[in-house]
Amino acid sequence: MEQSKKSTQDNLLEVKNLKISFKTDEGIVTAVDGIDFSVRQGQTLGIVGESGSGKSVSTWSIMRLLPKNSIIDENSSIQFQRKSGKTVEITKLKTKSKELREIRGGEVALIFQEPMSSFSPVYTIGNQIMEAVLQHRDVTDQEAEEIAVDMLDRVGISNPRQRFKQYPFELSGGMRQRAMIAVALSMNPSLLIADEPTTSLDVTIQAQILELMNELQKDLGMSIIFITHNLGVIAQVADEIEVMYLGKILERGTTKEIINQPKHPYTKALIKAIPRLDHLGERLTAIQGDIPSPLSRPVGCPFYTRCDDVISGVCDVKMPEPTHLSDTHTVYCFLHEEKDV
C-alpha cells in the first residue's frame, strides 16, 4: 500500500529513515533506528515512549542538538520547510552554518523538562527573552523589550513588566516553564518541540501549561511536536500520536485511533497499564519483563521479548513492514500484516 496520498506540500517537516547512533565506551549504541514521520502545518504530533525509546533524540536531531559522539546515518533525511517556502535538508547542514543558526530558535524552538537549566542564572528573564528576539529579528532594543513584555503577558505571567526584571531563581517552577515558552515563542517559530515540558510540574500547574499551549497554538498557528511518556497528557494535546519503543515507531495514528482503537500489543498494554480513576480497584495489566538495554537490542520487532502475542520464528527475526489500516493509522506488527505471513 502506498503512503497516504495526501499532498506532502502541507508537511512542515518530513523525516525519513532517521537513524542515530552514539559512540560509547561500550560500543556503538543505536538510539533511533530508521524511523519516518512528518509534521503537518498547524498540527500537534505527539510522541509517546518510555525511557530508551529514542523519543528525545529523534526530535533534538531536528535542531542538530545532539552530543558530539552522535552519528546521524548518511541515508537519513530531515526535510524542513522554511518560512521562505524553501525546503532544506537539515542533515546536510554544517553544525556551525548560518542557515542552521537561523532555523534554531528562529523557526524551530525547543522547550524541555527542566526550565531552570534553560536559563542563565546571571541575567534577568527579560534580558534573555530580549536577546533571543534581537538575534533573530531586526528590531531596536526598545522594540525587543516591548516584544518580551508582550510575550510574558501572553504566556499568562502576571505583572510582566515587573517579572521582566526578575532573575530565573525568583520564579516558581510553573512560572519558569511559562517564561521558557515565552522565550521559545518570541521568535514566532513555525515548529515548537516540547520535550516533556510538564513532567516536573505539579498536576494543577501542568493543566495550566497544557491549556496555555493549546491556546497559543490556536493563536499563532505553529506546529508542535510534543514528547511525553504520559498518555493522558498526550491525549489532551496531540492531533496525531506516534508510539516509540527502543528506537522504532510501532504505531502511528490520530489520537482517537491510537487511544480508542490501539492495534499494536505495546500500545494496548501501555494504555491498560495506566491506573484510572474510573476503574478503581481493578488489577493493572503490567507488561512482563523489563525494557531491554539499548546495548542488547532485540533482533526483529523490539517489543517481542515482552509481547504476549509473540509469534516465535517471526517476530524475533525481522522488523515487520508497516500495515496501513487507514489513511492515518499505521501499525508495525505481524499480527496485522496482510495475510501473507
Partner 1 sequence: MSDTLLEIKDLKVHFPIRNDSLFGGVENYVKAVDGVSFHIEKGETLGLVGESGSGKTTIGRSILRAIEPTGGKVTFNVDDESIDLSQLSDKEMRKFRKHLQLIFQDPYSSLNPRMTVRDIIAEPLVAQKLAKGKEVDERVQEAAALCKLNVEFLRRFPHAFSGGQRQRIGIARALVSNPQFIVCDESVSALDVSIQAEILNLLMDLQEKLGFTYLFIAHDLSVVAHISKRVAVMYLGQFVELAPTKSLFHAPKHPYTEALMSAIPEVNPDIAMTPVELKGEIPSPINPPSGCRFHTRCTYTQDICKIKEPVWKEVEPGHFASCHFVDTLNLQGVEMSSPAKSPLTGKN
Partner 2 sequence: MTSNNYPTLPPPEKDLNESEEAKRYYSASQFQLIWWRFKKRRIAKIGALVLIIMALSGLFAEFFGPYTGTTRVSESVLVAPQIPRFCNSEGCTLRPFVPSTISKRNPETLRMETKVDPSVRRDIYFFVEGEPYELLGFFPMNTHLFGVEEGTIHIFGTDSLGRDLYTRTLIATRTSLSIGIIGVIIAFILALIIGGAAGYFGGWIDYVIQRLTEIVRVIPVIPLYMGLAAAFPKEWSSSQVYFAMTLILALVGWPTLARRIRGKLLSLRGEDYVIAANLAGASPSRIIGRHLLPAFSSYIIVDLVISFPYMLLSETALSFVGLGLRPPTVSWGVLLQDAQTVRAIEQAPWLFIPALFVVVAVLSFTVLGDGLRDAADPYQV
Residues that bind partner 1 (CB under 8 A): 50-51, 172-175, 202-208, 210-211, 229-233, 235-236, 255-256, 259-261, 268-288, 290-291, 293, 306
Shortest CB 227 distance to partner 1, Å: 14
CB-hemisphere CA count at 13 Å for 189?
A: 27
Q: Residue 284's binding partner, choosing from partner 2, partner 1, none, with beta-carbon cut-off 5 to 8 A by kind?
A: partner 1
Shortest CB 205 distance to partner 1, Å: 8
CB-based contacts of 94, cutoff 8 Å, min separation 6? 100
Shortest CB 291 distance to partner 2, Å: 14
Of 158 and 296, which CB lies nearer to partner 2 in the complex structure? 296
Chain-centre distance for alpha carbon 204: 22
Alpha-carbon gap, residue 311 to 319, rounded angstroms? 12
In three-state form (DSSP H/G/I as H, E/B as E, the rest C), the secondary structure along 212-229 is: HHHHHHHHHCCEEEEEEC
Q: Residue 233's binding partner, choosing from partner 1, partner 2, none, with beta-carbon cut-off 5 to 8 A by kind?
A: partner 1
The three cell numbers of residue 340 are 501473507
Candidates 247, 337, 263; CA nearest to 298 is 247
Of 71 and 291, which CB lies nearer to partner 1 in the complex structure? 291
Question: Judged by CB under 8 A, does residue 296 bind partner 2?
Answer: yes
Per-position x/- string for 21-60, each x denoting binding to partner 2 as judged by CB under 8 A, each - no binding:
----x-----------------------------------
Of 64 and 263, which CB lies nearer to partner 1 in the complex structure? 263
DSSP state of 333: -
Of 136 and 306, which CB lies nearer to partner 2 in the complex structure? 306
Alpha-carbon gap, residue 65 to 171, rounded angstroms? 27
Alpha-carbon gap, residue 51 to 244, rounded angstroms? 10
Question: Judged by CB under 8 A, does residue 338 bind partner 2?
Answer: no
3-state helix, strand, coil in the chain (%, to 5): 35, 25, 45
Q: Which residues are near partner 2 by CB under 8 A?
A: 25, 289, 296
